Structure 1
Amino acid sequence: MVLWKTFLSSLQLPRKQSVFKLNRIPMDITVFYMFIMLFIVSIPSLIDRLTETSSIGSDMNIVFKLIYFFMFYYLPLTIMVFLLITLLAYLFTWIAKSMQRKLKLQIFWKMIAYSTTIPFILYTVIAIITPISDSYLLLSMVFTFVLLFKIINVYPKRKK
């Protein structure tokens, strides 16, 4: 139930009420939410891997295909996304400091994780229907950056 409420709140970003509601969610829920979102994003690739008939591993048992998929696709994807979120959160702490907002790395990590919900869901739906180009990554990053700037502006400026 908490994950469903988190999902619905992340769809309402950058509204002030949803920003503060998501900020109160513990970090372990956020990380688990990201694992689920990354699994949802990897579903089209999993379907392609399981239905592939003309590659080297096409004659493998389905259990081995699943193990191979999780070891060589899902795990590296998760590591890369978590590192990218951490790097962006660190970058946005500097941006928030220059905008005179007092925000910490943990808040940005959560907000970046939740602001990727819409691009991840759109990617999954489009990728199931048709192959998707890499330019979608650029569009989703621009969407996430714009959303983060709006989220930064939700927080009040520092008092001097």
Structure 2
Amino acid sequence: MGLLNAFKLSLLLPKKKAVYQLNRVKTKDFLLYILLLHVLFALPNGVSLIVDFMKSEDLDNTLLLAGFLYPLLVIMTGTIIISLLAMVGVLVRWMTKRKLVYQLLWKMAMYACTYPVILYVISSLLHQTTTIEYIGLLLLFLIIFTKMILTYPQMKK
């Protein structure tokens, strides 16, 4: 139930109530949510990778690459990208003088990625994704993430 609740709340972002409730999600559910989002993000490329390798009839390499190495690569790069996006949040936090720590910004960045990831998957499954679409998804993330940061109070002087 916690994973579905986290997903439902992340779809309500950047509403203030949803932002605060997401910070109360249990760590177990948050980690499952991260994994689910990474799997969803890897789905379009993973399917095409499996289809390409099945055509080559090299089942051992297909299993190794599609079953183990590709998901590991997606999780590692996804974690690095979320960390970089959280650093953008540190910059926004500093500019707006908000009272937030990096760990919370990392968690918020992960939840703010929900809409862009869903739109990316839909777009990738329908057609080849263009650079303009990537920029649009990044802007969507930045808008949601900035609004989430702005829901927190400013630091007292």
> What band does the TM-score fall into relative to the shorter chain?
0.7 to 0.9
Q: How far apart are 1:94 and its partner, in Å?
A: 3.4
Q: How far apart are 1:82 and its partner, in Å?
A: 0.7
**Structure 1, residues 16-69: CA drift from partner, whole Å, max 9, x if none?**
0000010111344323211111111212222212323796xx2122x7424312
* 1:157 is aligned to 2:154: yes
| Residue of structure 1 aligned with 2:144, choices 143, 147, 150 | 147
- Give the RMSD, CA atoms, in angstroms: 2.1
**Aligned residue for 1:25?**
25
**Aligned residue for 2:73?**
76
**1: distance between equivalents of 2:57 and 2:130?**
28
**Aligned residue for 1:59?**
57
Change in Cα spacing, 1:66 to 1:3, as seen in structure 2 (3 Å) is: farther
Given that residues 9 and 21 in structure 2 are in contact (C-alpha distance below 8 angstroms), is that contact kept between their aligned partners in structure 1?
Answer: yes
Q: Which moved more, 1:17-26 or 1:83-92?
A: 83-92
The count of aligned residue pairs is: 157
Q: How far apart are 1:115 and its partner, in Å?
A: 0.8
Pairs within 5 Å for 1:2-151: 2-52=2-52, 58-61=56-59, 64-151=61-148
Q: SS at the partner of 1:13?
A: coil
Given that residues 39 and 71 in structure 2 are in contact (C-alpha distance below 8 angstroms), is that contact kept between their aligned partners in structure 1?
Answer: yes
**2: distance between equivalents of 1:23 and 1:49?**
36
The residue type paired with residue 41 of structure 1 is F
Given that residues 27 and 110 in structure 1 are in contact (C-alpha distance below 8 angstroms), is that contact kept between their aligned partners in structure 2?
Answer: no
TM-score, with normalisation over the residues of structure 1?
0.86
Given that residues 16 and 151 in structure 2 are in contact (C-alpha distance below 8 angstroms), is that contact kept between their aligned partners in structure 1?
Answer: yes
The residue type paired with residue 51 of structure 1 is V
**Structure 1, residues 70-92: CA drift from partner, whole Å, max 9, x if none?**
44422122111211211221332
Q: Which structure 1 residue ranges, 4+ long, deviate > 3 Å from structure 2?
A: none
The residue type paired with residue 82 of structure 1 is T
TM-score, with normalisation over the residues of structure 2?
0.88
**1: distance between equivalents of 2:53 and 2:75?**
27
Given that residues 101 and 152 in structure 1 are in contact (C-alpha distance below 8 angstroms), is that contact kept between their aligned partners in structure 2?
Answer: yes
Given that residues 30 and 113 in structure 1 are in contact (C-alpha distance below 8 angstroms), is that contact kept between their aligned partners in structure 2?
Answer: no
Unaligned runs of 5+ in 1: none
The residue type paired with residue 128 of structure 1 is L
Unaligned runs of 5+ in 2: none
Change in Cα spacing, 1:22 to 1:54, as seen in structure 2 (3 Å) is: closer
Identity of aligned residues (%): 26
**1: distance between equivalents of 2:107 and 2:36?**
15
